[in-house]
């Protein structure tokens, strides 16, 4: 790599933390009569359509915590789960604050942090990301979120917002993500991109195709491998 | 203390970092023919009036980095310093990203972090605060700034914004600051308050009155003493 980026911005859900395994475990523990695997996938499947309702203007600006709750209420209805009290529903909804990092995340980020400014760039809200980081020991230099830019990825305001916050050019920022659409949107704003393989993002029953695609400057098995590629 | 707060929000300039000593040192090192002490005090004296131009609507939303630069350009003119090139001026302006923590700050925050969510609540912009934290080893769980709320302290949107971000009540948030006006504004929004003595905030030649005033729930010599008071 001829010149190194200055800032590494990380997608979080799926890239840094294992949402599927974490949500499935919490749902299984509640013994709701539905498989945690199925419930986790259904909850996450509601995520893009919910954000689309905000992007389209049908909903005003709404935090992910509140979108997660809208989806949860629909799912509980769909699965015929009607016995949960409000405190339990609130606790379950905040399972998204308690997602476990992938095993390489904390050591990988710690190595990368020694050489780069590392921040989140997630559609998750600030409180969610801060609680997740505190619980999981994720050593962010700064937590950036759609909440700061009042726009959800892939809105250019989010990618360009990272460069603006740090007073650098878009090409000084590298987005690290396990999702090609996120990376492509970042590239179209002039950011550099690194793909991270997360074959089990959707659980062991739905392994994801993580083969390399053109366009990404880096392709890494995990965040420790990314640190190697960036010579940390 | 009967019930503990959940979130500690910290003012930064003066409370956590020594702006006077840090700016004075950088100015002295440049050998501009003006005393660093005097220049630091003059720069800081321009800070509230500059924010007031934003609050009043005379200026649109402007980051502290840009306000610092406006003030710097006025000061260079006032002190008759006309030989600095643009790169030097930019570097000097970013001295505010390189402020040294008070000696108790990192160890104190580390102890407090073990028990509380700790965040900044500063008028400084996000990039400034993140670079300062990285350089000084300040272990924030989350960096919150006027930039997130698009309002400068003492606007209630900033104090109430901290509670909103973390999904807690105002009385679950304690503002920690070395400035009584900041603390009073937070209290009027329902936050709890802790005063931290920083007698040398304006330098050794202008010691500050740090005697206790009524209204603050806690009064601590420094952040290690605050950790003691909060039983960390």
Q: Which chain B residue shows the shortest CA-CA distance from A65?
A: B167
Looking at the complex, does the CB of residue A141 fall below 8 Å from at least one CB of chain B? yes
User: Which pLDDT score is estimated for A151?
Assistant: 95
Nearest to A148 among B129, B148, B167 (CB): B148
Looking at the complex, does the CB of residue A183 fall below 8 Å from at least one CB of chain B? no
The HSE-up count of residue A182 (CA atoms within 13 Å, CB side) is 24
pLDDT band for position A117 (cuts 50, 70, 90): very high
The answer to whether the Cβ–Cβ distance between B130 and A119 falls below 8 Å is yes
The residue among A181, A179, A215, A185 whose CA lies nearest residue A197 is A179
Fold of domain B7-18+100-229: Rossmann fold (3.40.50)
ipTM: 0.96
3-class SS string, chain B: CCCCCCEEEECCECCCEEHHHHHHHHHHHHCCCCCHHHHHHHHHHCHHHHHHHHHCCCCCCCCHHHHHHHHHHHHHHHCCCCCCCHHHHHHHHHHHHCCEECCCHHHHHHHHHCCCEEEEEECCCHHHHHHHHHHHCCCCCEEEEHHHHCCCCCCHHHHHHHHHHHCCCHHHEEEEECCHHHHHHHHHCCCEEEEECCCCCCCCCCCCCCCCCCCCCEEECCHHHHHHHCCC
The answer to whether the Cβ–Cβ distance between A167 and B65 falls below 8 Å is yes
Nearest to A130 among B130, B131, B141 (CB): B141
The answer to whether the Cβ–Cβ distance between B147 and A148 falls below 8 Å is yes
- φ/ψ region of B169 (left if φ > 0, alpha if ψ in -120 to 50, else beta) reads beta
Q: Where are the beta strands (DSSP E) in chain A?
A: 7-10, 17-18, 100-101, 117-122, 142-145, 173-177, 192-196, 218-220
Looking at the complex, does the CB of residue A131 fall below 8 Å from at least one CB of chain B? yes
Q: How large is the average pLDDT for residues A40-58?
A: 95
Q: How large is the average pLDDT for residues A4-12?
A: 98
Fold of domain A19-97: DNA polymerase; domain 1 (1.10.150)
The answer to whether the Cβ–Cβ distance between B141 and A126 falls below 8 Å is no
The answer to whether the Cβ–Cβ distance between B117 and A126 falls below 8 Å is no
Answer whether A126's CB lies under 8 Å from A142's CB: no
Q: How large is the average pLDDT for residues A183-204?
A: 98
pTM greater than 0.95 (yes/no): yes
Looking at the complex, does the CB of residue B148 fall below 8 Å from at least one CB of chain A? yes
Q: pLDDT digits over A77-107, tens only? A: 999 999 999 999 999 999 999 999 999 999 9
User: Which pLDDT score is estimated for B154?
Assistant: 96
| pLDDT surpasses 90 at A210 | yes
The answer to whether the Cβ–Cβ distance between B130 and A141 falls below 8 Å is yes
Q: Which chain B residue shows the shortest CA-CA distance from A137?
A: B141
- φ/ψ region of A150 (left if φ > 0, alpha if ψ in -120 to 50, else beta) reads left
Token pair in block for residue B210: 């740090």
Between the alpha carbon of residue B125 and those of residues A137, A186, B24, B27, B165, the distances in Å are 24, 23, 21, 22, 17
User: Which pLDDT score is estimated for A2?
Assistant: 73
| pLDDT surpasses 80 at A24 | yes
- φ/ψ region of B126 (left if φ > 0, alpha if ψ in -120 to 50, else beta) reads alpha
User: Which pLDDT score is estimated for A7?
Assistant: 98
Rounded Cα distance, B178 and B220, in Å: 10
Nearest to A166 among B127, B133, B141 (CB): B127
Which chain B residues are within 8 Å of A148, Cβ to Cβ?
A: 126, 147-148
Domain edges within chain A: 7-18+100-229, 19-97
User: Which pLDDT score is estimated for B2?
Assistant: 73
Three-class SS state of A153: coil
**Residues in chain B with pLDDT values less than 70:** 1
The answer to whether the Cβ–Cβ distance between B143 and A143 falls below 8 Å is yes
pLDDT band for position A33 (cuts 50, 70, 90): very high
The answer to whether the Cβ–Cβ distance between B144 and A126 falls below 8 Å is yes
């Amino acid at each position: 790599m001829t010149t190194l980026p200055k800032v590494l911005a990380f997608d979080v859900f799926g890239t840094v933390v294992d949402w599927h395994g974490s949500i499935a475990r919490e749902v299984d523990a509640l013994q709701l009569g539905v498989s945690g695997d199925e419930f986790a996938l259904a909850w996450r499947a509601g995520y893009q359509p919910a954000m689309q309702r905000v992007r389209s203007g049908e909903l005003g600006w709404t935090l992910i915590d509140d979108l997660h709750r809208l989806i949860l209420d629909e799912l509980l209805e769909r699965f015929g789960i009607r016995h949960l009290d409000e405190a339990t529903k609130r606790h379950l909804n905040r399972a998204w604050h308690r997602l476990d990092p992938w095993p390489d995340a904390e050591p990988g980020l710690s190595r990368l942090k020694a050489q780069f400014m590392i921040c989140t760039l997630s559609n998750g809200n600030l409180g969610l990301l801060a609680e997740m980081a505190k619980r999981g020991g994720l050593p962010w230099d700064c937590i950036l979120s759609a909440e700061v830019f009042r726009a959800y990825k892939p809105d250019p305001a989010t990618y360009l917002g990272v460069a603006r916050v740090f007073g650098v050019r878009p090409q000084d920022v590298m987005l690290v993500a396990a999702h090609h659409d996120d990376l492509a949107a970042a590239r179209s704003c002039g950011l550099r991109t690194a793909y991270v393989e997360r074959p089990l993002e959707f659980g062991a029953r739905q392994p994801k195709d993580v083969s390399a695609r053109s366009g990404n400057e880096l392709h890494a098995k995990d965040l420790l491998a990314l640190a190697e590629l960036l010579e940390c």
